[in-house]
């Protein structure tokens, strides 16, 4: 058995306190970006970090961990550079949209090429060009994710101080709805708006047009396929009922609460970031969708399936296209069972699979600890208090288990989850804040929601009866 390569953070290992940032159904492509981008791209991140690692999560998920001290420095550095005033935010926004559009535009151009006519050398060159655009855009995908949570938390504290001052606690949900409602609708909310506007009656050419406009929404990563027309129709069924809500403009609320100009400017930044956070995912999914033919062609030449290529590193794809590797299928098979990814002392990506996974987790002090709780707490994203049967959702494959009246308990949510969310009596997530996907959708549907519980999917058993107190932020197992 080969020696486990020393990580770049080896000399800090004893001092590292690992912080879990996300758990998603990501394959190798996004995981490789995640472990490298925060260490290498100092031109975008004022404070970089060398201590991050991707490990197996629950189900088919991958989980991203970072040193807690490094994370705090990252957040503070980004806030100081990009969001300490509206002028800096506008510069950030402009570059964000430019790089996002450039990434999608390049992927669209690749999509139209006759890739089978290219030599392996030409295909590798095209792949490298795509990766460069992806990495440049990924700076913003990451920094927007980080900044949104920071700004939203601070904005909530600011607005809550005014709510307390003017004794408006009974209107807190309405005020939060107004503050954290996106200024523009990202794709999933726009799709919902269009379908509801037509009371769900979209047929023929209109349905075909809508499908062609949004069938990329399911492309979380390379191993996810675009929706079929039938899957798309099933997805939009949940949008047939218009959600009637009495909405008040945030400007009017700000005037009534006599919010100072300084605080108002900060709250506007938070409001704008809600859309940025959603738009970043739209760009990423479109980029993946339009680039699928490129990865399919490379997979064909490697004699593997299109979804299997998502279990290879960038350099491995390049090397394997240059020289046949007969062990490639065995390698992919092992990685499907779980992998660990980090940087070595030369900032080169290391990926370990098989028996090395548990050895690495033990060496890097990342073994899972048993969690014992009878009561969980989190942030209230949408008000309500209900009791019901919990259905644990750790990935897309679990969504069909959610029936009308169940409580959806998930690691996180994203556009694929919306039909199941619409059926749910309440929503509880391990991750997320008050501007997360779960929070925004639950407020839109007026479904009780608690986010950021950290351990709900591990503590709550499937089909257990639970009490969701989305007023005080408590979940109790009955």
What pTM was computed for the model?
Answer: 0.92
The lowest-confidence range among 61-65, 122-126, 196-200, 222-226 is: 196-200
**Paired residues of 339 in beta bridges:** 353
Summarize the confidence of residues 231-245 as an average pLDDT: 75
Span 418-441, mean pLDDT?
92
Shared-domain flag, residues 451 and 472: yes
Q: Is 174 a member of any domain?
A: no
| Arithmetic mean of pLDDT, 53-59 | 92
Is residue 395 domain-shared with residue 470, that is, in the same domain? yes
What's the domain count of the chain?
2
To which residue do tokens 């998502």 refer? 310
User: Are residue 334 and residue 424 in the same domain, yes or no?
Assistant: no
Q: Are residues 358 and 399 in the same domain?
A: no
Q: What is the pLDDT of residue 359?
A: 94
Write down which residue in 363, 393, 409 finishes a domain: 363
Residue 224 structure tokens: 């996810």
Which residues lie closer than 8 Å to 74 by C-beta, 6 or more apart?
38, 45, 47, 48, 49, 66, 146
- Is residue 165 domain-resident? no
Q: Residue 326 pLDDT > 80, yes or no?
A: no
Q: What is the pLDDT of residue 374?
A: 57
pLDDT at 366 over 80: yes
Task: Please indicate, yes or no, if residue 78 is contained in any of the structural domains.
Answer: yes
- Assign residue 436 the CATH number of its domain: 3.50.30.10
In angstroms, the CA 279 to CA 282 distance is 5
179: enclosing H helix or E strand? helix 172-179
Q: Which domain range does residue 467 map to?
A: 375-477
Question: Angle at Cα 173 formed by Cα 172 and Cα 175, nearest 5°?
Answer: 65
Place of tokens 């679990």: 398
Whether residues 379 and 359 fall in one domain: no
Q: What band does 453 get if pLDDT is binned at 50, 70 and 90?
A: very high
3-state secondary structure of 170: helix
Residue 261's CB: how many other CB atoms inside 10 A?
A: 8
Say yes or no: 383 and 334 in one domain: no
**Are 404 and 328 contained in the same domain?**
no
SS (H, E, C) the chain: CCCCCCECCHHHHHHCCEEEEEEECCCHHHHHHHHHHHHHCCCCCCCCCCCEEEEECCCCCEEEEEEHHHHHHHHHHHHHHHCCCHHHHHHHHHHHHHHHHHHHHHHHHHHCCCHHHCCHHHHHHHHHHHHHHHHHHHHHHHHHHHHHHHHHHHHHHHHHHHHHHCCCHHHHHHHHHHHCCCCCCCHHHHHHHHHHHCCCCCCHHHHHHHHHHHHHHHCCCCCCCCCCHHHHHHHHHHHCCCCCCCCCCHHHHHHHCCCCHHHHHHHHHHHHHHHHHHHHHHHHHHHHHHHHHHHHHHHHHHCCCCCHHHHCCHHHHHHHHHCCCCCHHHHHHHHHCCEEEEEECCCCEEEEECCHHHHHHHHCCCCCCCCCCCEEECEEEECEEEEEEEEEECCHHHHHHCCCCCEEEECCCCHHHHHHHHHCCEEEECCCCCCCHHHHHHHHHCCCEEECCCCHHHHCCCCCEEEEEECCCEEEEC
Domain boundary among 313, 335, 363: 363
Residue ending a domain, choose from 341, 363, 385: 363
User: Is 19 found in the same domain as 44?
Assistant: yes
Q: Is residue 321 part of a domain?
A: yes
pLDDT at 240 over 90: no
Answer yes or no: is 53 within a domain: yes
Q: What is the mean pLDDT of residues 133-156?
A: 93
Whether residue 67 lies inside any domain: the answer is yes
- Cα distance between residue 454 and residue 19, in whole Å: 11
403 in the same domain as 443: yes
Q: Do 355 and 394 fall within a single domain?
A: no
Q: What's the pLDDT tens digit per position in 73-90?
A: 999 999 999 998 889 999
**Pair type for strands 426-429 and 407-410:** parallel
pLDDT at 11: 93
Instruction: Tell me: do 385 and 469 sit in the same domain.
Output: yes
The answer to whether residue 283 sits within a structural domain is no
Q: Return the ∠ at Cα 411 (arms to 230 and 367), rounded to 5°.
A: 135
* Residue 122 within a domain: no
Q: Which residue has the tokens 């890097």?
A: 364
Same domain, yes or no: 458 and 429: yes
Phi, psi angles (nearest 5°) of residue 412:
-160, 180
Kindly report the average pLDDT of the chain as a whole number: 91
Neighbours of 172 (CB within 10 A): 15
């Amino acid at each position: 058995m080969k020696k486990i390569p020393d990580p770049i953070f080896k000399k800090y290992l004893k001092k590292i306190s690992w912080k879990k940032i996300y758990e998603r159904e990501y394959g190798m492509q996004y995981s490789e970006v995640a472990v490298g981008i925060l260490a290498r791209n100092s031109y975008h991140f004022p404070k970089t970090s060398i201590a991050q690692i991707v490990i197996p999560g629950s189900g088919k998920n991958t989980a991203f961990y970072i040193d807690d001290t490094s994370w705090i420095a990252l957040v503070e550095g980004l806030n100081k550079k990009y969001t300490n005033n509206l002028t800096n935010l506008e510069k950030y926004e402009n570059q964000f949209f430019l790089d996002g559009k450039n990434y999608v535009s390049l992927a669209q151009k690749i999509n139209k090429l006759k890739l089978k006519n290219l030599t392996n050398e030409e295909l590798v060159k095209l792949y490298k060009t795509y990766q460069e655009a992806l990495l440049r855009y990924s700076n913003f995908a990451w920094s927007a994710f980080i900044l949104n949570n920071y700004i939203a938390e601070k904005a909530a504290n600011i607005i809550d101080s005014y709510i307390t001052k003017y004794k408006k606690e009974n209107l807190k949900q309405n005020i939060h709805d107004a503050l954290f409602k996106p200024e523009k609708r990202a794709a999933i909310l726009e799709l919902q708006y269009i379908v509801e506007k037509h009371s769900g009656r979209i047929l023929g050419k209109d349905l075909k047009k809508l499908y062609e406009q949004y069938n990329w929404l399911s492309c979380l990563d390379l191993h996810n396929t675009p929706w079929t027309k039938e899957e798309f129709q099933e997805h939009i069924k949940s949008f047939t009922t218009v959600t009637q809500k009495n909405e008040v403009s945030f400007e009017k609320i700000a005037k009534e609460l006599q919010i100072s100009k300084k605080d108002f400017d900060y709250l506007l930044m938070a409001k704008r970031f809600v859309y940025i956070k959603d738009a970043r995912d739209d760009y990423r999914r479109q980029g993946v969708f339009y680039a699928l033919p490129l990865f399919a062609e490379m997979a064909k030449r490697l004699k593997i399936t299109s979804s299997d290529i998502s279990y290879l590193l960038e350099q491995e794809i390049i090397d394997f296209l240059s020289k046949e590797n007969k062990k490639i299928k065995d390698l992919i098979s092992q990685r499907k069972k779980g992998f660990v990814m980090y940087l070595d002392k030369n900032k080169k990506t290391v990926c370990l699979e098989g028996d090395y996974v548990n050895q690495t987790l033990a060496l890097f002090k990342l073994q899972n600890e048993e969690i014992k709780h009878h009561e969980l707490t989190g942030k209230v994203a949408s008000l309500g208090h209900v009791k019901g049967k919990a259905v644990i959702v750790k990935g897309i494959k679990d969504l069909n288990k959610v029936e009308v009246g169940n409580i959806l308990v998930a690691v996180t949510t994203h556009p694929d989850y919306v039909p199941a969310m619409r059926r749910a009596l309440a929503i509880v997530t391990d991750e997320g804040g008050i501007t997360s996907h779960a929070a925004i959708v639950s407020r839109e549907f007026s479904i009780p929601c608690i986010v950021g519980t950290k351990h709900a999917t591990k503590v709550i058993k499937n089909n257990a009866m639970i009490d969701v107190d989305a007023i005080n932020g408590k979940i109790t197992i009955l």
